[in-house]
Amino acid sequence: MLPKRIRVDELSTRYFEAGTGSAVLLLHGASLGSSADVWQHNLEPLASQGLRVIAPDFPGFGGTDNPADPSVAYRRDWVLKLMDVLEIPRAAIIGHSQAGRIALDLAINEPQRITKVIVLATGSLLPDKAEAEGEEGGATEPTLDDTRALLESNLYNKALATEEAIDLRHRMSVGKNFHAFLARKSAKGGGGKGESPWQRVAKCPVPLLLLYGEHDRGDAARRAAKALQLNPELNLLILPHAAHLVQWDAAERFNALAAQFLK
């Protein structure tokens, strides 16, 4: 599938689109090298279920221009601007990793624009704080071996880290994208003492599905089980044989669950 281009908030934006019907945005995470390409196993299967599926590169990722503002808040607001440019009044959102928080915040702040949310492998939305999301990457531009190690660390099935996938991920990790990564790290604050992201989950005003890989980092499976103990009403599933890139490791199961929930 070939990517498309559009201007959003003066930024040349790369995105993929497939299918017709109710709009669904697939939002990738914040790891160095992440891009809309993480949805390569999911775009067409979801589109085949009567959905209009759109996967953009966030500003500072993939083939989208670097923004002046590297903050998560800017990326969150940018999603609404993307919807406006594409003339999408309302959409469902699937947010992977850090983008799960973006999806939840949009649903809470703009419930008239968001129909449903799927949170995928977002550790910060579980009880018991673990490592921050989007921190993968060092102070120097990664080598190809660095990229291979990082991609494999996010997979349960290491065979999915093909040479083609590693090469693509590496191209999305260097040059202007590495400079954007450094800007994001530099802009990070210390965090506040207010309401935790986990406490906001119960406030989601639209239908919410949470999916986690059994072998994800940050002790996610135990924390997801604890989330269910604390709030048995949560629509939360732990998928076996999957690590952080759940949509790769458990592509068939993820596609079926997502399609059923969104339809």
Domains, the chain, in order of start with CATH, read 4-262 (3.40.50.1820)
Q: DSSP class of residue 67?
A: P
Number of other residues whose CB lies within 10 A of the CB of residue 213? 28
Instruction: State mean pLDDT over 71-83.
Output: 97
More confident residue, 227 or 135: 227
Instruction: State mean pLDDT over 49-70.
Output: 98
Distances from the Cα of 109 to the Cα of 80, 96, 233, 234, angstroms: 11, 19, 22, 20
pLDDT given at position 135: 67
Judge whether 150 and 136 are in contact, CB under 8 Å: yes
Sheet holding 4-8, edge to edge: 4-8, 11-18, 51-56, 22-27, 91-96, 114-120, 208-213, 236-239
Chain mean pLDDT for the chain: 95
- Give 92's pLDDT tier (boundaries 50, 70, 90): very high
pLDDT per residue as tens digits for the range 157-210: 999 999 999 999 999 999 999 999 999 999 876 555 678 899 999 999 999 999
pLDDT per residue as tens digits for the range 17-55: 999 999 999 999 999 999 999 999 999 999 999 999 999
Question: 84: which 2 tokens?
Answer: 């406006």
pLDDT given at position 129: 79
What's the rounded Cα separation, in Å, for the pair 140 and 153? 19
What's the rounded Cα separation, in Å, for the pair 71 and 7? 19
- Give 75's pLDDT tier (boundaries 50, 70, 90): very high
pLDDT given at position 195: 80
Please report the DSSP string for 102-113 in residue order. Answer: HHHHHHHH-TTT
pLDDT given at position 236: 98
Instruction: State mean pLDDT over 207-227.
Output: 97
